[in-house]
Chain A
Amino acid sequence: DVKVTQSSRYLVKRTGEKVFLECVQDMDHENMFWYRQDPGLGLRLIYFSYDVKMKEKGDIPEGYSVSREKKERFSLILESASTNQTSMYLCASSWAAGTTGNTIYFGEGSWLTVV
């Protein structure tokens, strides 16, 4: 079974802190994603990466950055956390998507509260 592991399930951080959310997948997937999920807004894509050291902005990249130094690891960074970044963050991975698409596998999610 594919496993996508997010390092922290629940975090509480202060406004202005730098926050790292780590994600590791064990299936040698090319693609990795970071989404945030908020009530009524569904899953919104923050960033995704289709290869090591490659990244693409999603719909809401402002206030976030990412790092992919190794294929299996994709990190989401909040340079200076703000209260409006309180949310549930989902990491995901998939094989390289072609025209027929590929299943996306999600981690358990990280609940971040910024106070």
Chain B
Amino acid sequence: GQQVMQIPQYQHVQEGEDFTTYCNSSTTLSNIQWYKQRPGGHPVFLIQLVKSGEVKKQKRLTFQFGEAKKNSSLHITATQTTDVGTYFCAGPSNNNDMRFGAGTRLTVKP
């Protein structure tokens, strides 16, 4: 079945450094979504990408959807301690449910 793979599993950065997490699907995706889960919290929707090659920005966060619509990335410029959490990508399966990657847990050292 459809799988969404996400790397790295963990990333520890110094405050001010950049951070990137990558998501790859075994099949072409109609869309991809990104979520953030703060420590002790629940996942919260960040953004959805639909078009091939699409790039969207939210302040210091840049989201990309690959040309083949099988991969995506989230890049954070100049991380802050408020960026701490686990970032998940998710894509629709053939059954129209959403399948999540394993997540990338980001820690930021002040």
Interface size of B in residues (CB-CB distance below 8 Å): 26
Q: Is the CB of A56 within 8 A of B102?
A: no
Q: Is A74 an interface residue (CB 8 A)?
A: no
Chain B residue at minimum C-beta to C-beta distance from A56: B95
**If the complex has contacts A90-B42, A103-B48, are A58 and B97 also in contact, measured as CB distance less than 8 A?**
yes
Contact status B30-A99, CB under 8 Å: yes
CB of B90 within 8 A of CB of A104, answer yes
- CB of A43 within 8 A of CB of B100, answer yes
Write the nearest CB–CB distance from B22 to chain A, whole angstroms. 14
Q: Interface extent on A, as a size class?
A: 20 to 34
B19 CB, min distance to chain A CBs, angstroms:
18
A90 vs B95: C-alpha distance in the bound complex, in angstroms?
19
Among residues of B, the one whose C-beta sits closest to the C-beta of A2 is B45
Closest chain B residue, CB of each to CB of A42: B102
A100 near B31 with CB under 8 A, answer: yes
A101 touches B98 (CB 8 A): yes
User: Is B68 among interface residues, defined by CB-CB distance under 8 A?
Assistant: no
Within the assembled complex, what's the spacing in Å between the Cα atoms of A115 and B6? Answer: 32
Contact A97 B96, beta carbon cutoff 8 Å: yes
A104 and B33 contact, Cβ closer than 8 Å, known pairs A40-B102, A45-B99, A56-B95: yes
B-binding residues in A (CB < 8 A)? 31, 33, 35, 40-45, 48, 50, 56, 58-59, 90, 94, 96-101, 103-109
A33-B97, A59-B1 known; 5 new pairs, CB 8 Å cut-off, are A90-B43, A97-B97, A99-B30, A101-B98, A104-B35
Using a CB–CB cutoff of 8 Å, the interface residues on chain B facing chain A are 1, 6, 9, 30-31, 33, 35, 41-45, 48, 50, 88, 90, 92, 95-103
Complex A-B: 17 CB contacts under 8 Å: A31-B96, A33-B97, A42-B102, A43-B43, A43-B88, A44-B100, A90-B42, A97-B96, A97-B97, A99-B92, A100-B30, A100-B50, A101-B98, A104-B35, A104-B90, A106-B42, A107-B42
